[in-house]
């Protein structure tokens, strides 16, 4: 895959190093405790980031830490801070992000609102974490553009670039995202399925545009024509 990416000069990002949900943590890792787990965590960060040093422009170091806390439960409250310290030392040029869901989609989720995300980011900042961006998943049921705009405005007070990592309801969400001055980019989740593409894929298995690809091309064209920021 990387040979293809290099040959086609495609920018690549890493998602993710750690997923705080134990359900998605390998069983052999769940069985580790104390110094053994800490050694494994350090090795995981260093081996990944050294192997792909200067190849991956982004790393979602910690995924969904507002909902789950597997590593902090096992290694103490500074576990996440330690992730970012080791990651930054391993590849100082990589952009390091946190990734979270139900921050920009809704204000009804007590675990993951903008008012829980911001204090957590500031806490990491006070601990000395060099954070480079805010990752937002976009699992929208029905998008609410005014709410999305207000939440992006709040997150912008952190002074960090914002990346919308996954999004559906494309036209509304992407237009709103592209239009916000703190939005640095939008990633589309385009996983392949054995029987063909999911609904978010840009192209089919023959590299021909699907409806999603047509929509993105249209939005990019409108952006180049100055109808909104790209």
How many Cβ atoms from other residues are within 10 Å of residue 1's Cβ? Answer: 6
Domain ranges of the chain: 13-224
Q: What mean pLDDT comes out for the span 185-192?
A: 70
The answer to whether residues 103 and 53 touch, using CB atoms and an 8 Å cutoff, is no
Range in 59-68, 129-138, 149-158 with the lowest mean pLDDT: 129-138
How many Cβ atoms from other residues are within 10 Å of residue 22's Cβ? Answer: 16
64 is catalytic: yes
Q: What mean pLDDT comes out for the span 102-129?
A: 86
74-103 residue pLDDT tens: 999 899 999 999 999 998 888 899 899 889
pLDDT of residue 227: 47
CA-atom Rg of the chain in angstroms: 18
Catalytic residue among 20, 64, 100, 105: 64
Residue 143 has pLDDT above 90, yes or no: no
Could you tell me which CATH number the domain at 13-224 has?
Answer: 3.20.20.80
Average pLDDT, the chain: 85
Range in 28-32, 154-158, 197-201 with the lowest mean pLDDT: 197-201
pLDDT of residue 230: 41
166 is catalytic: yes
Q: What mean pLDDT comes out for the span 9-27?
A: 90
The answer to whether residues 200 and 189 touch, using CB atoms and an 8 Å cutoff, is yes
Q: How far apart are CA 171 and CA 21, in angstroms?
A: 31
Catalytic residue among 100, 105, 137, 166: 166
Any residues with CB less than 8 A from the CB of 35 and at least 6 apart, and which? Answer: none
């Amino acid at each position: 895959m990387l040979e293809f990416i290099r040959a086609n000069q495609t920018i690549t990002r890493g998602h993710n190093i750690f997923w705080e949900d134990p359900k998605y943590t390998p069983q052999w890792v769940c069985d580790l405790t104390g110094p053994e787990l800490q050694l494994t965590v350090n090795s995981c960060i260093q081996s990944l980031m050294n192997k792909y040093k200067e190849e991956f422009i982004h790393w979602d170091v910690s995924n969904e830490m507002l909902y789950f806390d597997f590593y902090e439960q096992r290694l103490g409250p500074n576990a996440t801070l330690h992730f970012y310290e080791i990651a930054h030392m391993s590849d100082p040029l990589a952009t390091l992000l946190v990734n979270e869901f139900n921050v920009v989609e809704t204000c009804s989720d007590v675990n993951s609102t903008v008012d829980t995300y911001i204090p957590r980011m500031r806490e990491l900042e006070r601990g000395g974490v060099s954070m480079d961006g805010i990752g937002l998943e976009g699992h929208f049921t029905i998008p609410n553009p005014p709410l999305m705009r207000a939440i992006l405005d709040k997150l912008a007070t952190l002074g960090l670039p914002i990346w919308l990592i996954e999004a559906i309801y494309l036209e509304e969400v992407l237009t709103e995202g592209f239009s916000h001055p703190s939005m640095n980019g939008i990633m589309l989740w385009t996983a392949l399925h054995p029987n063909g593409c999911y609904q978010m894929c840009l192209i089919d298995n023959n590299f021909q545009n699907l409806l999603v690809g047509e929509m993105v091309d249209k939005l990019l064209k409108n952006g180049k024509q100055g109808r909104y920021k790209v």
